[in-house]
């Protein structure tokens, strides 16, 4: 909406200009930018929600990247349900739940660092319009260098209006006292 208002304002000022042909390339650039940047989320991210595999790939993709890349908050919101929530378990199994928006707050407080969540294994249960995905992952600062910082996500999804949505996810990290990822990777 802001972009549309900006384009309208620029066009009005351009039309009032005494030399309207002075900036034709500028005007063309604004029109192209408005058509590309003004796309609705439905068009930009539709491939992310066509299948369970696509949405889980997008789920990891939006949090992964170099410090030079911007956070993909809009894309992340698109793949989640409107009221999605996140639960994190500490090493004692104590759960803390918050909204997707609350997940973004710490990200905005510090400069972005190289961060990659690499999926190690996925197990999907799908019945009707609901799905449960178990997904083991590893956290890396270089996508090509393995670490032992691993966790397990339990991701709940539903299918509505021709697309998948993530309703919630629960995450527990592997620790000295809890080998959940090692155990999960051994399972057939």
Number of domains in the chain: 2
Do 81 and 166 fall within a single domain?
yes
* Residue whose C-alpha is closest to residue 86's, from 166, 160, 20, 31: 166
- Residue pLDDT, tens place only, 8-54: 444 444 444 454 444 444 434 443 443 444 446 668 999 999 999 99
Do 93 and 177 fall within a single domain?
yes
Do 28 and 118 fall within a single domain?
no
Do 140 and 69 fall within a single domain?
yes
pTM for the whole thing? 0.77
Do 91 and 75 fall within a single domain?
yes
Q: How far apart are CA 175 and CA 148, in angstroms?
A: 10
Residue 55 scores a pLDDT above 90: yes
DSSP letters along 20-37, please? TTS-HHHHHHHHHHHHHH
- How does residue 107 score in pLDDT terms, banded at 50, 70 and 90? confident
Do 33 and 51 fall within a single domain?
no
Confidence at residue 43, expressed as pLDDT on a 0 to 100 scale = 84
Do 71 and 126 fall within a single domain?
yes
Provide mean pLDDT across the span 93-120. 93
Residue 4 scores a pLDDT above 50: no
Do 81 and 170 fall within a single domain?
yes
Question: Which structural domain range is residue 8 located in?
Answer: 2-38
Other beta carbons less than 10 A from residue 1's beta carbon: 6
Q: How far apart are CA 14 and CA 26, in angstroms?
A: 10
């Amino acid at each position: 909406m802001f972009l549309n208002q900006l384009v309208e304002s620029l066009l009005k000022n351009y039309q009032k200009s005494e030399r309207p042909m002075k900036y034709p390339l500028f005007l063309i650039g604004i029109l192209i930018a408005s058509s590309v940047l003004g796309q609705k989320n439905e068009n930009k991210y539709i491939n992310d929600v066509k299948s369970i595999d696509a949405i889980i790939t997008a789920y990891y993709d939006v949090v992964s990247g170099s410090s030079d890349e911007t956070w993909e908050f809009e894309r992340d919101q698109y793949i989640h349900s409107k009221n999605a929530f996140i639960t994190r378990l500490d090493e004692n199994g104590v759960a803390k739940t918050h909204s997707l928006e609350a997940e973004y707050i710490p990200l905005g407080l510090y400069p972005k660092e190289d961060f990659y969540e690499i999926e190690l294994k996925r197990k999907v249960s799908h019945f009707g319009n609901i799905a449960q995905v178990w997904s083991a992952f590893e956290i890396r600062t270089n996508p090509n260098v393995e670490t032992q910082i691993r966790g397990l996500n339990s991701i709940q999804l539903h299918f509505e209006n021709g697309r998948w949505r993530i309703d919630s996810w629960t995450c527990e990290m592997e620790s000295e006292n809890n080998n959940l990822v090692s155990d999960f990777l051994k399972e057939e």
